Amino acid sequence: MNLTTKEASAATAHQPNDLASFWLPFTPNRAFKRAPRLIAGAKDMHYFTLDGRAVLDGTAGLWCSNAGHNRDPIVAAIKRQAEELDYAPAFQFAHPKAFELASRIAALAPGDLDRVFFCNSGSEAVDTALKIALAYHNVRGDGARTRLIGRERGYHGVGFGGISVGGIVNNRKFFGTLLSGVDHLPATYSREHQAFSKGEPQWGAHLADGLERIVALHGASTIAAVIVEPMAGSTGVLPPPQGYLQRLRAICDRHGILLIFDEVITGFGRLGHAFAAERYGVMPDLVAFAKAVTSGSVPMGGVIARQPVYDAFMRGPEQTIELFHGYTYSAHPLACAAGLAALDLYRDEKLFERARALEPAWADAAMALQGLPGVLDIRTVGLTAGIDLNPRAGAPGARACEIMDRAFREQNLMVRITGDTLALCPPLIVSAAQIGEIFDKIGQAIRAVT
């Protein structure tokens, strides 16, 4: 791909002064600083490196940039907003675009998921949802419901709430005792029963019954909420078994437990619908979102609550604060402007429908890698794919890491890894030809790195 002059000059303008001071998140810092992977610019489906290479984005950044990168309408909206209103206090005051964006998100969400609380990231969205769930029971006089139920292999960000209900050992084991009163459902993945399934695997709905066991152990009257990712992304793309989420909903209903969907990855089109709740026809009580709400352009997260959940708080004297929670940057004007522009793009370019239409071709292209050396499983749903590789003896994660590095440096492709799983989730503007390019290059990298 040829760079325009503007893109090329942007791509050479940002050599860092030194690499020492910045402590990178979720990254092996020493290895990275020895051989950095630096990104200078982006446009649509591509990143641009400092040496001017165009790298095809197979990961929508970090599951964020669903409309593609540096889209003109989003950039223009952010610029306009910065000139008009840089910041407005988030407590006791508000600005019009916060209301506008909330109502647009509510209109996209199914059923009576109608009230939107804004924050700045997926982690904050999760902690906000957990706190709303606890407070909801409290304000209704059911304050003994304090337990939170997550799931093994779940990822809900890095706040103390999120890591407590999360189920990834390295995200938990260094950080003390976490929240008390948390229990976990079993993970939904079994290679033995599900390997090489396209979409939702047939096996595994019964795993939702783990919630009945937890209810039997603790008593329903102590449980506030269950939180799951409808499709577990960060742990390696685990689509829900057919019927699993419906069964979870039914058990929650039976016992008065709130159901929270963490849609930080699945929200805004990733699975071919505005929200996974719509794809699966399951109504959660609360939805956590972030990432693609602004197509990754400005940090933003939030929680969508069903109307009765919100209404439960709207009691007592009108001058009292109903929920003692919020962030200085809740509904930041730049994020709201970016969000409105992103939602316009999703609507005008029919990007959710596009993801749905591309899903079969995407799944076929991914599954064509079955049989390559060391490929243990491939999973797809919506425009996502997870490819499990056989780990090297004594060096877990090394093989996938080498593939990611090789793809970036030599094949001009960005892929994401978690352990020895490659994860893919391109912007929803990806073309059929680019889908072919992504999986061709991954196939070459898998063959090259043994």
Q: Applying CB under 6 A, which residues contact ligand PLP?
A: 121-123, 126, 155-157, 229, 233-234, 262, 264-265, 290
Is the Cβ of residue 248 or residue 365 nearer to ligand PLP in the bound state? 248
Q: Which amino acid, one-letter code, is at 125?
A: A
Give the pair of three-digit tokens for residue 158.
């890095």
Task: Write down the least CB distance from residue 126 to ligand PLP, Å.
Answer: 5
Is the Cβ of residue 10 or residue 60 nearer to ligand PLP in the bound state? 60
Is the Cβ of residue 265 or residue 445 nearer to ligand PLP in the bound state? 265
Task: Write down the least CB distance from residue 388 to ligand PLP, Å.
Answer: 18
Angle at 184 between CA 166 and CA 176, to 5 degrees: 55
H or E element: which one contains 117? strand 113-119
Task: Write down the least CB distance from residue 180 to ligand PLP, Å.
Answer: 21
Pairing assessment for the beta strands 113-119 and 301-306 based on DSSP bridges: antiparallel
Is the Cβ of residue 229 or residue 278 nearer to ligand PLP in the bound state? 229
Task: Write down the least CB distance from residue 433 to ligand PLP, Å.
Answer: 28
Q: How are the residues of the chain apportioned to helix, strand and coil, as percentages rounded to the nearest 5?
A: 40, 20, 40
Task: Write down the least CB distance from residue 363 to ligand PLP, Å.
Answer: 21
How far is Cα 351 from Cα 85, in angstroms, rounded to an integer?
29
Q: Which amino acid, one-letter code, is at 1?
A: M
How far is Cα 72 from Cα 185, in angstroms, rounded to an integer?
43
Shortest Cβ contact with ligand PLP: which residue?
Answer: 122
H or E element: which one contains 288? strand 286-289
Write the burial class of residue 324 (CB in 10 Å: 0-12 exposed, 13-18 middle, 19+ buried).
exposed
Is the Cβ of residue 113 or residue 290 nearer to ligand PLP in the bound state? 290
Is the Cβ of residue 11 or residue 381 nearer to ligand PLP in the bound state? 381
Is the Cβ of residue 59 or residue 197 nearer to ligand PLP in the bound state? 59
How far is Cα 211 from Cα 250, in angstroms, rounded to an integer?
11
Q: Tell me the backbone φ, ψ of residue 310, rounded to 5 degrees.
A: -60, -45
Q: Which amino acid, one-letter code, is at 42?
A: A
Task: Write down the least CB distance from residue 260 to ligand PLP, Å.
Answer: 11
Task: Write down the least CB distance from residue 36 to ligand PLP, Å.
Answer: 21
Task: Write down the least CB distance from residue 339 to ligand PLP, Å.
Answer: 14
213, 218, 222, 227: CA torsion to nearest 10 = -40
Task: Write down the least CB distance from residue 295 to ligand PLP, Å.
Answer: 14
Is the Cβ of residue 226 or residue 265 nearer to ligand PLP in the bound state? 265
How far is Cα 380 from Cα 425, in angstroms, rounded to an integer?
10
How far is Cα 202 from Cα 205, in angstroms, rounded to an integer?
8
Is the Cβ of residue 267 or residue 369 nearer to ligand PLP in the bound state? 267
Task: Write down the least CB distance from residue 64 to ligand PLP, Å.
Answer: 9
Is the Cβ of residue 120 or residue 194 nearer to ligand PLP in the bound state? 120
How far is Cα 57 from Cα 46, in angstroms, rounded to an integer?
5
How far is Cα 218 from Cα 146, in angstroms, rounded to an integer?
11
66, 67, 73, 77: CA torsion to nearest 10 = 0
How far is Cα 69 from Cα 47, in angstroms, rounded to an integer?
8
